[in-house]
């Protein structure tokens, strides 16, 4: 028994010493517990310093993966960044703190911590979208200041149609680019349920083909309202008709009115099926230029007035419209023949009474151009018409109306005599036809108008008789007096009514 007690007395300290020695050895180890894997990398058995060095090397390698963004690969417009520069970084502190804690605390605390140390550790990748967008915009943000510009169409002095393409504007598609880079950066990892700005990843080892990735810079294209395609679809292909009249004998006032009205008409555009309204041209001209004094037609007589000449523009346009085969909606001839056109080919205007209107029946857009040079007015129509189609206009006088004779008493006429004080002019009835030609062969003939022009009265002086004037001589009516035409209201043609101004 004594020997047993002695043995026990000796054994217990030995065991305690051995246990302490094992605890000391276990708790003071400077290595990472065997079987420890961090983010796919085996670091068990390495010293804590070696493990941290290896992990930081691995994390650096991950964050230094190259990202290339190409705005135009053909023109070598590209920029390179690392994942770290774009805001994709590995969360290092948590794992580093876990490893360093192996060296902290009492011997018993260190041994217990080592014993329970987790052998598998996930890595967390965090991203900063604000930094990502800042980097991209620093390179290509200028794109977002561009604005789209419409395509343009120019008609040259040689009547050629020239198109200038539209210009698109661009906006960076940050969402798509960020998601593409993030998908590659995460590389099969899983979203972190605790944070929308991170994911659990494995970063080791990194395959050789995963060290760099290239992306096209995604852009949102902003096109203008009028692209080149839309502009060309309007169908302004060529000059389809043209007509010229002369106003070389016009007064300065009349020439001004012709030129001003033509200027307003220039570049007038009609959509398919749209009806042209000459009244709008006259009102716009009056607003922007005003009209000057020039003879107008009042109830079939040429009299002083304002706006004379405006119907030369409508009549020139009318002839161009006829030659383009367009539908006439409203048109009336002057009450008197005009000097610048054959009868049957004019179109008068009287605000509130007579208008000139036609319909764009080409199926495409129509542009009216005007030119005034050397006292000649030219109206051109640009649009769509088959190359082998043309039109010819023919007018035929079907009746000549002899001028009526009006006798007035004149003291200058001897008894039994007669003197022609003012020669009259005959009137006419005219039929006008539009002939359609295909490959220069007539295919149809359309009667477009039957017009009547009033004759102008011949004034004849006869001997005075009957009443006497204050001086005792026979009284005579004024030669300039105008007999009533029977109209209930005066209508001003080829001019504007300024009575309300």
Lowest-confidence region among 326-330, 335-339, 363-367, 486-490 = 486-490
pLDDT of residue 20: 56
Q: Above 60 in pLDDT, residue 471? A: no
pTM, to two decimals:
0.73
Nearest Cα to Cα of residue 60 among 82, 86, 93 = 82
Q: Give the bridge partners for 90, in sequence order.
A: 125
pLDDT of residue 3: 62
Going by pLDDT thresholds of 50, 70 and 90, the confidence category of residue 19 is low
Q: Above 90 in pLDDT, residue 421? A: no
pLDDT of residue 85: 96
Q: What is the mean pLDDT of residues 384-410?
A: 95
The conformational region for residue 267 under phi > 0 = left, psi -120 to 50 = alpha, else beta, is left
Going by pLDDT thresholds of 50, 70 and 90, the confidence category of residue 256 is very high
Bigger pLDDT: 6 vs 112:
112
pLDDT of residue 403: 93
Bigger pLDDT: 144 vs 244:
244
Bigger pLDDT: 371 vs 23:
371
pLDDT of residue 229: 96
Going by pLDDT thresholds of 50, 70 and 90, the confidence category of residue 499 is low
Roughly how many angstroms between the first and final C-alpha of the chain, as a whole number?
146
Going by pLDDT thresholds of 50, 70 and 90, the confidence category of residue 477 is very low
pLDDT digits (tens, 9 = 90+) for 35-79: 998 888 898 888 888 989 998 998 899 899 999 999 887 667 899
Percentage of residues in the chain with pLDDT exceeding 70? 87
Identify the residue whose tokens are 């200028």: 142
The phi, psi pair for 411, rounded to 5°, reads: -65, -15
Nearest Cα to Cα of residue 268 among 280, 256, 250 = 280
How far apart CA 13 and CA 2 sit, in angstroms, is 18
Nearest Cα to Cα of residue 475 among 465, 486, 460 = 465
Q: What is the mean pLDDT of residues 81-89?
A: 95
Q: Above 70 in pLDDT, residue 16? A: no
Q: Above 70 in pLDDT, residue 257? A: yes
pLDDT digits (tens, 9 = 90+) for 167-188: 999 999 999 999 999 998 887 6
Burial class (CB in 10 A: 0-12, 13-18, 19+), 441: exposed
pLDDT of residue 292: 94
Average pLDDT of the chain to the nearest whole number = 87
């Amino acid at each position: 028994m004594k020997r047993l007690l002695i043995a026990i007395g000796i054994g217990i300290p030995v065991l305690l010493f051995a246990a302490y020695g094992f605890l000391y050895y276990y708790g003071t180890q400077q290595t990472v517990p065997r079987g420890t894997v961090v983010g796919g990398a085996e670091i068990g058995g390495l010293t804590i310093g070696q493990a941290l060095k290896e992990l930081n090397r691995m994390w650096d390698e991950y964050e230094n993966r190259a990202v290339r963004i190409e705005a135009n690969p053909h023109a070598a417009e590209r920029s390179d960044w690392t994942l770290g520069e774009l805001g994709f970084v590995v969360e290092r502190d948590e794992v580093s703190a876990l490893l360093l804690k192996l060296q902290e605390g009492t011997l018993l605390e260190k041994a217990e911590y080592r014993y329970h140390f987790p052998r598998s550790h996930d890595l967390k990748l965090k991203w900063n979208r604000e930094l990502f967008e800042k980097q991209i915009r620093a390179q290509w943000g200028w794109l977002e200041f561009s604005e789209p510009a419409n395509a343009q169409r120019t008609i040259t002095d040689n009547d050629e149609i020239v198109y200038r393409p539209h210009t698109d504007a661009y906006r960076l598609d940050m969402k798509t680019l960020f998601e593409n880079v993030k998908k590659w950066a995460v590389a099969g990892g899983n979203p972190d349920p605790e944070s929308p700005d991170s994911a659990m990843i494995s970063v080791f080892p990194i395959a050789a083909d995963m060290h760099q990735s290239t992306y096209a810079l995604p852009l949102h294209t902003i096109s203008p309202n009028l692209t080149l395609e839309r502009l060309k679809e309007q169908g302004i292909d060529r000059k389809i008709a043209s007509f010229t009249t002369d106003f070389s004998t016009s007064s300065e006032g009349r020439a001004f009115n012709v030129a001003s009205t033509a200027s307003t008409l220039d570049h007038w555009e009609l959509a398919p099926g749209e009806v042209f309204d000459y009244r709008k041209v006259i009102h716009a001209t009056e607003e922007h230029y005003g009209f000057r004094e020039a003879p107008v037609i009042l109830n079939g007589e040429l009299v002083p007035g304002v706006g004379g000449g405006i119907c030369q523009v409508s009549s020139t346009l009318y002839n161009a419209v006829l030659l383009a085969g367009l539908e006439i909606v409203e048109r009336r001839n002057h009450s008197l023949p005009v000097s610048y056109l054959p009868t049957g080919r004019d179109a008068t205007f009287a605000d509130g009474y007579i208008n000139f209107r036609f319909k764009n029946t080409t199926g495409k857009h129509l542009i009216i151009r005007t030119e005034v040079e050397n006292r000649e007015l030219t109206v051109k129509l640009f649009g769509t018409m088959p190359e082998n189609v043309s039109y010819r206009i023919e007018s035929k006088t079907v009746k000549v109306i002899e001028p009526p004779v009006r006798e007035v008493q004149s003291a200058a006429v001897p008894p039994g005599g007669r003197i022609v004080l003012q020669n009259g002019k005959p009137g006419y009835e005219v039929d006008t036809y539009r002939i359609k030609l295909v490959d220069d062969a007539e295919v149809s003939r359309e009667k477009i108008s039957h017009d009547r022009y009033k004759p102008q009265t011949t004034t004849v002086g006869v001997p005075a008789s009957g009443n006497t004037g204050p001086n005792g001589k026979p009284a005579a009516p004024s030669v300039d007096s105008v007999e009533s035409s029977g109209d209930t209201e005066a209508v001003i043609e080829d001019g504007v009514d300024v009575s309300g101004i």
